Amino acid sequence: MAPSRTEMLLGFIQQRPSDPFPRYALAMEYKNTDRLQDARKVFADLMASSPDYTATYLHAGNVLVALGQIAEARGIYESGIGVCARVGDSHARGELEGALASLPGAR
């Protein structure tokens, strides 16, 4: 029997523990299969271990929005905007600014 996508991604993480992409892919797999708490944990671990991996922040915030944790999502989006500004990722910054503006209570 072929391994599941999750099992394959976990294997990639073991093979390349310092590469952020397999962790990001695992978090996205969890998000896309509605395993939001698992996605939240992997995104949090990824932000801690690879804080400059800008793609993480939008999806981490989106998971928190889906979990109803709007204030925490706002903080993640704002942190991501700061990281994007520092590393020069204007595309991800624009996406994060849009997500932040769409939150309930946004100014």
Q: Is the pLDDT of residue 3 over 80?
A: no
Report the CATH number that the domain containing residue 64 is assigned in CATH.
1.25.40.10
Q: How many domains does the chain have?
A: 1
Domain-embedded: residue 7 = no
Distance CA 4, CA 69 (A): 30
**105, two tokens:** 């209570």
Q: Is the pLDDT of residue 1 over 80?
A: no
Domain-embedded: residue 40 = yes
DSSP line for 61-95 = HHHHHHTT-HHHHHHHHHHHHHHHHHHT-HHHHHH
Domain-embedded: residue 74 = yes
Beta-carbon contacts of residue 89 (< 8 Å; ≥ 6 apart): 54, 83
Q: What is the pLDDT of residues 62-88, one digit of tens each?
A: 999 999 999 999 999 999 999 999 999
Domain-embedded: residue 14 = no
Domain-embedded: residue 64 = yes
The structure's pTM equals 0.91
Domain-embedded: residue 97 = yes
Range of the domain at 98: 22-102
Domain-embedded: residue 59 = yes
Q: CA dist 57 to 10, 37, 52, 100, Å?
A: 21, 16, 10, 11
